Structure 1
Amino acid sequence: MQFLFKIYQRITWLSIDVVLGAMAGMLFFAEALRVELAWQEYALLGMAVWCIYTADHLMDARKLTVEHAEDRHHFHLIYQKPLFILLAVVGVTGLIWAILFFGFSNELFFGAGLGLLILGIMLTVRKWASKQVRLKELSSAIFYVIGISWLPWYEAPSIEYSWTAVVLTILYMGLAYLNLIMLSSLDTESDQESGFSSIATLLTQEKLNPRIHQLAIALIAFTFLVLVVVNSLYRILPSLLLVMLLVHYLCFFKSSLKPEQIRMRMEIAFLIPAILLIL
């Protein structure tokens, strides 16, 4: 069991779980908007997400020494040169593939522009982290969901635009934000030791955790309400979202798991929409 845990730990350090979660999220929105995407679009999203997250981890790791780096940053600090090379290869390959697949179309320009915007926000957040730390998790959550949902929204005919799709998008942003502030709470000590800023380094645990609890309950209650009133054709989607929220709540508040185990379970929760492949 310990061997399997170590394997999955390496997968999380390489952000493979985040990539798969993002692809599952795109599938979620494709179902919500009743649009069928090509497998290449999922693959290109995965490559873009991996590049963004790996670049983020490498920028974090460069600020640290081996003695002050947690496991994830320690991995990126030690292997930063091969990871930089792999990042360049994946980035260039993804760009060429996107040009060949989309051509010089609106999809290509919007996707590339969104990627550059996200990178710019990452750099801005780092520069002003100590002053605008509350925006870090919120902006990350918003742009994460925009990144995985914009293509289904773009390719769906306007007749499929519905209040259900809008509400599910907002709830997914709420879930992403909940995930990030929960992770910030788990990483408080390591962030303080490493000199990183987050909402958890701004607020004490006594103030932050009750707010996390209130947000989680509010999201769960509202998602349940959507599940009750939504058209039966879409009921599976708020059901999956509700399960994802409950996994976060139970792992964070109702378990005696170690922080790393909680982190892994919450990241696995984002794979739940993949069940749509067999339904």
Structure 2
Amino acid sequence: MQFLFKFYQRITWLSIDVVLGAMAGMLFFARALRVELDWQEYVLLGMAVWCIYTADHLMDAGKLTSAPRQDRHHFHLIYRTPLLMGLCLVGFIGLFWAIQFFGFSGELFFGTGLGVLILAIMLAVRKFGALQVRLKELSSAVFYVIGISWLPWYETPEIDYTWTVFGLTILYMGLAYLNLIMLSSLDTKSDEEAGFVSIATKIPQEKLLTNIRNLSISLILCSLLGLLLVNSFYRIYPGLLVIMLLVHFLCFFKTNLSAEQVRMRMEVAFLIPAILLLI
């Protein structure tokens, strides 16, 4: 059991779980918008997400101000060179593959532009430090959902746009934001030791926990309301969001779990939309 935990821990440190969660999220929006995407589009998204998250972790590791601990930052610091080489290789292959698959089309230019914009925001977040701390998690959540949903939205005829899917997009952003502030709360001690600035290092923990609880309950109630109000075709989507939100809420506020166990369970929650493959 300990071996399986350590194995999955390494998967988490390498952001593989985030990649799979992003691909499941794209499937969520593709099915909600009734768009059929090619498997190559899912793989290209996964490669882009891995590059962005790995670049982010490498930048974090490079900013360590104290002796690193046995965690994700330590892992990226120790294996900085091979991870940087992997980042360059995956980025190059992904860009070449995207050009081959999409051609010089709107999809290519929009996707590339979005990736560049996200990287620019990541750099700006680090440059302005405490001035941006309250917006860091929010902007990350918004761009994460834009990143996994823009292609289904792009390939859907405007006549098929619905307020229901727009509402699902907003709720998914809320879920992503909740995930990030929960993770920030879990990492408060390690972030302070490493000299990182986050929402959890600037807001008192008691107030942050209250905000997390209120946001969780609000999102769960909104998703349940959506479950009741939408027509039968869309009902599964707010249902999946309810399950994902409940996993976050129950794991985060379950006191007998370690921070690492909570983190792993919350990341697994983003794989739940993969159940749509069976429907």
Interval containing the TM-score (normalised by the shorter chain): over 0.9
1:233 Cα deviation (Å)? 0.5
* Map of 1:81 onto structure 2: 81
CA–CA separation in structure 1 for the residues paired with 2:37 and 2:234: 18
How far residue 256 of structure 1 moved from its aligned partner, in angstroms, is: 1.5
- Give the structure 1 partner of residue 33 of structure 2: 33
Query: Percentage identity across aligned positions?
Result: 74
Q: Distance in 1 between matches of 2:193 and 2:10?
A: 23
Cα displacement string for residues 13-44 of structure 1 (whole angstroms, at most 9, x for unaligned residues): 00000000000000000011010000000000
In 2, the alpha carbon distance for the partners of 1:25 and 1:19 equals: 10
Aligned to 1:251: 251
Q: How does 1:162-241 map to 2 (within 5 A)?
A: 162-241=162-241
Contact 2:66 2:195 in 1 (8 A): no
Name stretches of at least 5 consecutive residues in structure 1 with no aligned partner.
Answer: none
Give the structure-1-normalised TM-score: 0.98
Larger CA deviation: 17-26 vs 151-160: 151-160
1:7 aligned residue: 7
Task: Determine if contact 1:61/1:69 at 8 Å carries over to the other structure.
Answer: no
What is the RMSD computed on CA atoms of the aligned residues?
A: 0.9
So what's the TM-score if we normalise by structure 2?
0.98
Q: What displacement does 1:67 show?
A: 2.0
Inter-partner Cα distance in structure 1 for 2:265 and 2:90: 27
Q: Residue 136 of structure 1 aligns to which amino acid in structure 2? A: K
Distance 2:174 2:245 in 1: 10
Does residue 116 of the first structure (1) align with residue 116 of the second (2)? yes
Asked whether the 8 Å contact 1:66–1:74 carries over to 2, the reply is: no
SS in 2 for 1:224: helix
The aligned amino acid for 2:89 is V
1:102 alignment counterpart: 102
8 Å CA contact 1:22–1:46 kept in 2: the answer is: yes
Partners of 1:256 and 1:136 lie apart in 2 by 29
Q: Find the aligned partners of 2:100 and 2:30 in 1 and give their Cα distance.
A: 22
8 A contact 1:69–1:194 mirrored in 2: no
1:234 match: secondary structure: coil
CA-to-partner distance for each residue in 1:41-81, whole Å, 9 max, x for gaps? 00000000000000000011111267234510111000000
Q: Name 2:18's counterpart in structure 1.
A: 18
- The runs of at least 4 consecutive aligned structure 1 residues that moved more than 3 Å come to none
Name the CA distance, whole Å, in 1 between partners of 2:180 and 2:232. 31
